[in-house]
Structure 1
């Protein structure tokens, strides 16, 4: 199945929903403690729903997260201890260091192309890219004369400010024209060019390593419920008993999304489908086939087994998804079986494997031994040990996060052992690439 952005817009449009309010049934309702003063996003949504009818969960997520005026990602810095959630790069620099080794490994396995574009989708506050680039600098002898550049796909002006400060200090400039595909550009302290884009299509062609850490889980999902009359889409409506509340309802009839996005052999009774993620994975697959490179996706997820994973986070706590929209992050686990299906048969899809397994195969144990051996401050040693536990412990992030990759088919047919570095080969069934075991950078 090939998806397009026009299709995404169509299935998310309330005009495609055959709606009769009297015939709908309530799926579940929100808590009764809504704020008396409605946030502007809630007012916007209630007005929209009253005018055009209930909206899909995908459209609700898109409005709440990326509305250009009041969207959560557009106007908030939600990362870190003072935000709503914290990610692996903020827990330990080792995470980004090992990812940098993975990227160089893939570049070497591809025959050391003269150009290496590092493309990050949803780069957060820029800390992951900074850690990766630091590894690039310390392994410059391996990269040789390759032309390295950083390309960031970011829709949030607020986050792009943080990324620019982290990566370029004061050395970035915004484009004069808002329509410019590169809306911001700069240079790192090491002299590497950095460019910002709003969409993947604007990233220039060329050999690229794409990384997406906690990006796909924030893309809008459609939710579907199996009923006696067949599959029906779960929608967001205004509570008829209280116009200041939102509620979930189930469409009384099929929608365009339920008729096209649900697989005929689906066995679950409730599913979530990220059509926008399908479009992006198809674009990435085409880029890999045409220009070479690799994709590494790191996210909460499952392999086609889970049902209802739509949830919100605020102040590091679970938050009702319909309560005070725009004040909390919204997320849904990534269905890697769907991404694999959308990627098609041209590229090699490997994984998902757990974060703990990936990091251990990439040499995190060796790296931590080096750091601890050179660390004499007790508080720093404790922090290193705690971060290692958080990243690899199966009860914490070790098994909750999964890693999934797309590779050019030639990568598996003729693996290359890089010169000058010990490379430990791994089974492609378990791990997309090999891991360096002699991490000598500081």
Structure 2
């Protein structure tokens, strides 16, 4: 064992020594979610001082517009007297805090809404309690009470574990993590006989995320049974792309990092397979709406006038506000790479930003 190995790397090496090379999804799950040494156990990932910045950390406008989206969905549902307002992977709670503040504009919504933050990291749950004291916490969606639900998931699915399959020597082989000359290293497992396209060029890579599809199926089942809506915003290719190519990446202090260096010390993500998510949701009976981009969605929800209003109220910050608007929505920034997937109960109308002409 290398003398410089941290505690999580030591655990990973021990598991490899006992059980053989480790699948990528197991490696990601340990690096991100280990309760003591995992990346999210630290609670220091977000913002300029962390390793990456999500849309809610860029500008309050993102959460505000999604809060108004939720309020309008509730109205379109017939304004039920109780609705679960849930967020998966809420980070430090910034988006939910902004959403609740903006949603006050629709009378009755906050009286009906029951906020829930679904988070596995105890450190992040502590931060969320400070940001959104009115919200209740859960470790899994299954722990959130049943009933009509409006669910948000921003940059949640990209951090769920994936498996990678590489075409080599005319056969598919699964990418694994092993130890070579004292260091963690990539390797390939034995040829696989089933479950993947029968032919592909050598070097082709496919990614699959059973964890993502399981959560998507759970969302679809709840919408089909209880009604409501879900909005997933994340980055990845639009259908018909289905998990092709190597999209695994690690970030440390806003710069690319080696995923195998310092396990637990960097964010590890992969592009979201929206076709797989959509299929898992629809298979449970929920209604899907055409995929759109983050830029198009925010534009339809009123990003430009909101930015103009904020700039007028704070002329000293106008340049920053317009820069934030562009970062969220410009095609060459987050606007095109980030997609928005919406699903509803089977009989519900299209949610805001997903209807005809929007």
TM-score higher than 0.5: yes
Shift of 1:264: 6.2
- The reply to whether residue 217 of structure 1 matches residue 183 of structure 2 is no
Structure 1 partner of 2:302: 363
| Map of 1:394 onto structure 2 | 331
Q: For 1:218-248, what per-residue CA distance to the aligned partner results, in whole angstroms no more than 9, with x for missing partners?
A: 0000001123443221111111xx22x1111
Correspondence for 2:61? 94
Q: 1:344 Cα shift?
A: 3.0
Cα distance between partner residues in 1 of 2:335 and 2:154: 15
Contact kept in structure 2, 1:351 and 1:403, CA below 8 Å = no
Structure 2: state its 5+ residue gaps. Answer: none
Is contact 2:290–2:354 with CA below 8 Å preserved after alignment? no
Match of 1:206 in 2: 147
- Equivalent residue, structure 1, for 2:320: 383
The farther-off stretch of 215-224 and 339-348 is 339-348
Cα RMSD of the aligned pairs, angstroms, is 2.3
Distance 1:229 1:429, change over 3 A: farther
In structure 1, C-alpha distance between the alignment counterparts of 2:280 and 2:197, rounded to whole Å: 12
Q: Distance in 2 between matches of 1:56 and 1:163?
A: 32
CA distance in 2, matches of 1:90, 1:430: 30
2:276 matches 1:343: no
* Bigger Cα Rg: 1
Secondary structure at the aligned position of 2:117 is classed as: strand
- Spell out, residue by residue over 1:76-103, the C-alpha distance to the aligned partner (whole angstroms, 9 max, x if none): 3211111111111111111111101111
Does residue 300 (structure 1) correspond to residue 265 (structure 2)? The answer is no
What TM-score do the two structures reach when normalised by structure 1? 0.75
- Which of 227, 231, 235 lines up with 2:168 in the alignment? 227
Map of 2:136 onto structure 1: 195
Distance 1:407 1:59 in 2: 32
Q: Does 1:317 align with 2:255?
A: yes
SS for the counterpart of 2:348 is helix
Structure 1 unaligned runs (5+)? 1-34, 169-187, 189-193, 417-424, 432-442
> Does residue 347 of structure 2 align to residue 406 of structure 1?
no
Q: Shift of residue 253 of structure 1? A: 2.8
CA distance in 1, matches of 2:168, 2:149: 44
How many pairs align?
353
Q: Residues of 2 paired with 1:273 and 1:352: CA distance?
A: 20
Q: 1:68 aligns with which of 29, 32, 35?
A: 35
CA contact 1:353–1:430 (8 Å) conserved in 2: no
TM-score by length of 2: 0.92
- Alignment partner of 2:86 out of 112, 115, 119: 119
